[in-house]
């Protein structure tokens, strides 16, 4: 019985990924709650925070950067949520099998972001996006904390893949 409850040092590393997953998920959902219910961004539509940062309300019914939103019609939120959940499960399996801490943390961030956006799709039929960066006429797509965690996690995985030494994952 004791052996069942004991984790080896290697197998405990994935708990750090789980911790990052929950931190990202909580920060994402709290920020969206605040934007929708306290700051009331849907009513205000867009508010300048800094000269290069606005909070702009966007309900993203599509995939990244608005892709495929109109193609799948009313079933898009369900299809995207199921697809994202399936990918998140696969990434979670990868995370608990991984041995490198940077890979584990990256996957935790990606999964936390994916779950945050899945929750939005299930609750609202769309993802709540509100962070809008712009400089000198250049404007980036409106995004949220979950999107940021996914991009940073993927970036860390790519850096690890290019500069990897030793373990293959």
- Alpha-carbon distance of 105 to 123, in angstroms, equals 27
Phi, psi of 104 (to 5 degrees): -60, -45
pTM for this model (two decimals): 0.87
Residues facing residue 143 across a β-bridge: 131
Angle at 22 between CA 19 and CA 25, to 5 degrees: 150
Q: What is the DSSP-derived secondary structure letter of residue 168?
A: -
pLDDT band at residue 1 under the 50/70/90 scheme: very low
Say which of 40, 70, 120, 147 is annotated catalytic: 147
Q: In this predicted model, what pLDDT tens digit does every residue of 141-169 receive, in sequence order? A: 999 999 999 999 999 999 999 987 665 55
Q: What is the pLDDT at residue 66?
A: 53
Does residue 129 have an active-site annotation?
yes
Q: In this predicted model, what pLDDT tens digit does every residue of 71-130 receive, in sequence order? A: 556 777 788 889 999 999 999 999 999 999 999 999 999 999 999 999 999 999 999 999
Say which of 28, 40, 120, 129 is annotated catalytic: 129
What integer is the mean pLDDT of 59-65? 73
Angle at 110 between CA 131 and CA 165, to 5 degrees: 125
Q: In this predicted model, what pLDDT tens digit does every residue of 2-60 receive, in sequence order? A: 554 455 555 689 999 999 999 999 999 999 999 999 999 999 999 999 999 999 999 99
Q: What is the pLDDT at residue 130?
A: 98
């Amino acid at each position: 019985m004791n052996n069942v409850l004991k984790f080896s040092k290697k197998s405990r590393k994935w708990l750090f990924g789980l911790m990052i997953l929950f931190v990202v998920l909580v920060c994402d959902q709290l920020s969206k709650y605040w934007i929708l219910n306290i700051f009331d961004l849907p009513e205000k539509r867009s508010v300048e925070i800094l000269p290069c940062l606005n909070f702009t309300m966007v309900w993203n019914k599509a995939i990244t950067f608005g892709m495929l939103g109109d193609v799948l019609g009313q079933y898009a939120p369900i299809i995207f949520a199921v697809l994202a959940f399936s990918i998140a499960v696969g990434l979670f399996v990868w995370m608990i099998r991984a041995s490198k801490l940077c890979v584990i943390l990256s996957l935790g961030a990606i999964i936390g972001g994916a779950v945050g956006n899945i929750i939005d799709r299930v609750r609202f039929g769309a993802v709540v996006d509100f962070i809008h960066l712009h400089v000198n006429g250049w404007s980036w797509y409106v995004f949220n904390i979950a999107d940021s965690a996914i991009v940073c996690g993927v970036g860390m995985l790519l850096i690890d893949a290019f500069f990897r030494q030793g373990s293959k994952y």
